[in-house]
Amino acid sequence: MAQVTIRINGYAYTVGCEDGQEDHLAKMAEEIEQRISSIKAIGGQSGEARLLMLAALLLADELYDLKHGGGANAQPVPPPAKADGERRARLRRVAARAEEIASDMLDL
């Protein structure tokens, strides 16, 4: 098993993966880093856990759209670094929904 050190939001993480999957793992880390950068760009920085949670929600949202939106003809979602106004609005909606869920959890 290979060991890869990836950097996300300035932090280094050593992660195990199958031999030969090191480049793939590094590319996945880059995808997460891009989403974190886009969250920070619109002023969404408020802590490591929250940034990672929002990045995960963005990725889950894109995955959902690919699974349920276009089937075999679905086009890849452009990375957030090339985001336009619509993607920024979507990020704000996802962040607002995450805040609602967090607030509901505190009320339990």
Q: What is the pLDDT of residues 66-103, one digit of tens each?
A: 888 754 455 555 555 555 677 777 777 777 777 666 66
What residues contact residue 62 under an 8 Å CB cut-off, 6+ apart? 77
Q: In 3D, which of 36, 35, 13, 37 has the Cα closest to residue 25?
A: 13
What residues contact residue 43 under an 8 Å CB cut-off, 6+ apart? none
The residue count for the chain: 108
Say how many domains are in the chain: 1
- Domain span at residue 75 reads 2-107
pTM over the 0.75 mark: no
